[in-house]
């Protein structure tokens, strides 16, 4: 993983397969990786980050995702309820994804 290199991933959200790609925005070895999404996903979610903070013999892992829901969904005139549902789906997925990644990293 190097700044500027490409990445590809697949994930399932509420039963639907999403094929995602982008570039690595920043790498600080053993500390931070910034993943940038490609267009059109970048319109809604420009990036996500993985942060690793050493704590003695262990590490604390934090995943951050960035979402531009308000501006994007307002342009498509979604109702407040529709927008809240989309945001809820995002948080539900990110929570589950984070729990899975945490289990994987702690093994």
- SS3 for 2? coil
The per-residue pLDDT for range 48-68, each reduced to its tens digit, is: 999 989 888 888 888 888 877
Averaged pLDDT score across all residues of the chain: 83
Confidence (pLDDT) at 74: 61
Confidence (pLDDT) at 76: 62
pTM: 0.73
Query: Closest Cα partner for 38 from 27, 23, 48, 49?
Result: 23
**Residue 70 pLDDT class (50, 70, 90 cuts):** low
**Residue 69 pLDDT class (50, 70, 90 cuts):** low
- Mean pLDDT value of segment 23-44: 91
């Amino acid at each position: 993983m190097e700044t500027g290199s490409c990445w590809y991933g697949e994930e399932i959200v509420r039963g639907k397969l999403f094929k995602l790609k982008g570039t690595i925005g920043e790498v600080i070895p053993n500390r931070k990786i910034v993943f940038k999404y490609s267009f059109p996903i970048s319109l809604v979610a420009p990036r996500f980050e993985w942060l690793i903070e050493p704590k003695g013999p262990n590490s604390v892992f934090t995943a951050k995702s960035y979402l531009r829901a308000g501006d994007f969904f307002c342009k498509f005139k979604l109702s407040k309820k529709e927008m809240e549902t989309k945001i809820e789906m995002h948080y539900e997925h990110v929570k589950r994804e984070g729990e899975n990644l945490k289990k994987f990293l702690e093994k």
